[in-house]
Amino acid sequence: MEDVARAAGVSRMTVSRALRSDGPVSDETRARILKIVRKLNYVPDQSAGTLSTRRSGFVATLVPSLNNLHFAESIQALSEQLEPTGLQMLLGHTDYSAEREERLIESMLKRRPEIIVLPFDGHTPRTIKLLKQANVPVIEQWEVPKRPIGYTVGFSNWQAARKMTTALIERGYQRIAFVSESEDAWTRGAARRAGFEDAMQSAGLSAHRMIRFGKPPISIEDGFQIGAQYSEHFADADCIFCVSDAPAFGVLSALKSQQIRVPEDIAVVGFGNFEVSRFSSPTITTVEVDARGIGHQTGELVRRLLVDENDRDGIPRHFEIDVRLRFRESTRA
């Protein structure tokens, strides 16, 4: 920067001002400085700027996992929203572990993020303490916690699963099995399971056909293995509701290879509306979640909180994301 200032015959401060769109610099001087900046290939050091302005320009972002299209898409949508603002995303993935989440947050806080975006899958007590002390807006995504730390963008997995279950019961299904992960203490999967159980009980039906298999995120392969044990798990069931479309597709694939007909012999239902559920045969009934919408709304919220000074009033604490039931060929009408 010193070099640029010397070459332009001005002070460092003027260079600094010229590089920031707002600074009061004459057009002529700015043009001259920018030309020299380009010639010398000067790239400002943002950590020095951060230190001085106390604004890091970082958005700390956590996701449970990247190899899940939902999370990948919401991240992608968020990062697209962030681009024009000049904010940068610090990304980490928790791998569905609250301890890993805590470690990640701890290391990200050293970068002084201006906002923290993370999924709610249950936090450790220390995580909650760290988040509160960070003195920075916190946005919890996906599942909406009962006691939010700050803002939330998401929906109730409990309600979504309950709604689908109730709709299935209305369509005449009574002996519904539920497939979910084996270690999901606090995840969205657990909330879906609870919603399913509640709906069944409310209808006076038994929710005893609970299959737990595979670690989060449950995969197509896991679903295939479950489906391969049809007689053991589903002999007296009339419908298999899976915690996600991936195992639903796997179950379907396994049933097909055993000549079990869907939906004639048994129905299959997923969750998430992944692309594969629209193109499998039969196509899979599922719960559609607007993953991009979560990223987009979060981006919008970040903009209102950090960028747009005129739009800071009356920001709601909670943004509800759409959830819709998609009935397809894998259930009978």
CB within 8 Å of 35: residues ≥ 6 apart = none
Whole-angstrom distance, CA of residue 139 vs CA of residue 296: 13
Whole-angstrom distance, CA of residue 18 vs CA of residue 26: 9
User: From the CB of 44, what's the least distance to a second copy, in Å?
Assistant: 6
Nearest residue to 63 via CA among 154, 185, 128? 154
Whole-angstrom distance, CA of residue 32 vs CA of residue 34: 6
User: From the CB of 109, what's the least distance to DNA, in Å?
Assistant: 11
Angle CA 26–27–31, to nearest 5: 120
By CB under 7 A, residue 19 contacts DNA = yes
User: Which pair of structure tokens corresponds to residue 237?
Assistant: 């069931």
The contact mask relative to a second copy for 99-138 (x = CB under 8 A, - = no) is: ----x--xxxxxxx----------------x---x-----
User: From the CB of 27, what's the least distance to DNA, in Å?
Assistant: 7
Nearer to DNA, 17 or 328 (CB): 17
By CB under 7 A, residue 25 contacts DNA = yes
Q: HSE (CB half, 13 Å, CA atoms) of 22?
A: 0
Whole-angstrom distance, CA of residue 226 vs CA of residue 212: 9
By CB under 8 A, residue 46 contacts a second copy = yes
Count of chain residues binding a second copy (CB under 8 A): 53
By CB under 7 A, residue 51 contacts DNA = yes
By CB under 8 A, residue 159 contacts a second copy = no
Among 6, 13, 201, 322, the residue binding DNA under the rule CB under 7 A is 13
Among 48, 66, 210, 315, the residue binding DNA under the rule CB under 7 A is 48
Q: 250, 221 in Cβ contact below 8 A?
A: yes
User: From the CB of 71, what's the least distance to a second copy, in Å?
Assistant: 9
108-137 burial: b if 16+ Cβ within 10 Å, else e: bbeebbbbbbbbbbebeeebeebbeebebb
Whole-angstrom distance, CA of residue 66 vs CA of residue 148: 24
Q: How many CB atoms lie within 10 A of CB 236?
A: 9
By CB under 8 A, residue 275 contacts a second copy = yes
Residue 1: name its binding partner from a second copy, DNA, none (Cβ under 5 to 8 Å by kind).
Answer: DNA
By CB under 7 A, residue 40 contacts DNA = no
By CB under 8 A, residue 325 contacts a second copy = no
List contacts with a second copy (CB under 8 A): 41, 43-48, 50-51, 56, 65-67, 69, 72-73, 75-76, 79, 83, 86, 88-93, 103, 106-112, 129, 133, 219-221, 224, 246, 249-250, 253, 256-257, 275-276, 278-281
List contacts with DNA (CB under 7 A): 1, 9-14, 16-17, 19-20, 24-26, 28-30, 44-45, 48-49, 51-54
